[in-house]
Amino acid sequence: MESLIVVLLVVLIAAVVVVGLKIASGSSKTAPQAPTTVMAPPVDIAPIIEAVKASIDIAAISTGVQGAVQTEMLKTAQAALAANNEQAQQQANQTLAGQSQALDQQAKILLQPFEERIKQLTESVAALQGSYTAEQATVIALTQQITTLQESTTTLKNALKSPTARGSWGENQLRNVIRMAGMENYCDFTEQFTGGVGERDQRPDVVVNLPSGARLAVDSKAPLAAYLRMQEATDVAVQEQELKQHAKDIRTHVKTLAEKKYWDQFGHATPDFVIMFIPGEGFVADAMKADTALLDDAMKQRVLIASPVNLLGLLLTISKGWQAHSLAEHAEMVAKLGVEVYERVGVVIEEMNKMGKNLGTANTAYNDMVASFERRLLVTLRKFKDLGVVQSDIKDVKAIETASPREINAAEGRQELPAPQTKELES
């Protein structure tokens, strides 16, 4: 570095000397010329160089130049580094963008099945949510109905604690069973009692009339006091005890009905038993579980214990008997109606044949009239147009193509009806 500085100083001194010489030569030209030419002695520049070298602080210049060079090199390095960093950052951004795009494509390809599954799952969840909403509304409605039913059951249970209410409820259930069997017209209901207590005790709730003229007594009983206490009890022993008491109460009613002997009041054709109607399947079934001999003992006393289903089956059987009896009673009337209908059908067939013949005659007469109109009258009318009297044409009249109506092909339409066999119809 110091050698470089020395060289630069030498060059600088040489430049200064040259400039000085040029200035001296200039001044010599401007001065008046002497009569004679005198040669100037040569200039010694060595002392000048030494003086300049002595006056110049090489170390300071070296330090300054070195600092300037280092500053420029630092700026150049920083600029190059910044350019390289920017270029690297752009390349990195481009690479990162390309890789991100490629990763996005790969991620979409990889996630496509999951998206489809999630879409299906979303649809399923939406469907389940809709179904859940509908079912929730149904559950709410059912809950309300159950609540209403529980309230009604509680009300009915409280009402059945009264013997009078139990009796009325049993009679209403009996009436409903009779209505379901379609036997209301064949049953006599005990609406009210005009006699004393003894007479009332001897009259059943319903008397069922049989086709043979006999009558069947049905009495409604609702011995439910012990049964209701059994349902309210929580102790198993108490429940069994109340259930046995329930069966015992039914036995008491069986004995009372057996002693009344209703079958003796309705004649010899009446079946020698009475029906004790209990308005509940569970009432009868539980009593027979607690007392297995209850049904046999009741039948021995000519008392038939009937639940709603059993009584309904018995009444439906009696209803079929009434239908057969009604058909037998009206068989002669049905035979007469059949003969009358048969004869009237024959008259209708004759009238149909006459109408067909008349229609055929009318068709023939109409076609003859159309032919006569075309041959005689229409020819003359067309001459008016030929003479220019009228301008429009007269429309043709079409004949009826069908010559005669369809005949009745049945044997009854081609010949007279035979006389009906009255005896066969009556049988």
Distance separating alpha carbons of residues 345 and 418, to the nearest angstrom: 12
Residue 427 has a pLDDT of 38
- Return the closest-CA partner of residue 253 out of 289, 214, 284: 284
Rounded to an integer, the average pLDDT of 156-185 is 79
Distance separating alpha carbons of residues 202 and 403, to the nearest angstrom: 83
Residue 13 has a pLDDT of 67
- Return the closest-CA partner of residue 228 out of 150, 158, 287: 158
Handedness of CA 349, 354, 355, 360 (dihedral sign): positive
pLDDT band at 271 (very low <50, low <70, confident <90, very high): confident
Tens digits of residue pLDDT in 180-197: 888 888 888 764 433 334
- Return the closest-CA partner of residue 221 out of 170, 281, 178, 159: 170
Residue 59 has a pLDDT of 67
Distance separating alpha carbons of residues 288 and 286, to the nearest angstrom: 5
Domain boundary assignment for the chain: 160-329, 332-426
Residue 198 has a pLDDT of 45
Tokens at 42, concatenated: 């040569």
Tokens at 255, concatenated: 């004995």
Q: How would you write 166-223 as a 3-class SS string?
A: HHHHHHHHHHHHHHHCCCHHHEEECCCCCCCHHHHHCCCCEEEECCCCCEEEEEECCC
Q: Which of 198-202, 286-290, 371-375, 379-383 is most confident?
A: 286-290
Which one has a higher pLDDT value, 320 or 48?
A: 320
SS3 306: strand
> Is 244 in contact with 189 (CB distance < 8 Å)?
no
Q: What is the pTM of this model?
A: 0.45
Rounded to an integer, the average pLDDT of 153-160 is 65
Tens digits of residue pLDDT in 280-333: 888 888 888 888 899 899 999 999 998 898 889 888 988 888 888 888 877 878
Distance separating alpha carbons of residues 209 and 287, to the nearest angstrom: 30
For residue 414, pLDDT over 60 is answered with no
SS3 43: coil
pLDDT band at 413 (very low <50, low <70, confident <90, very high): low
Residue 348 has a pLDDT of 83
User: 218: which strand partners?
Assistant: 206, 275
* Host H or E run for residue 244: helix 236-260
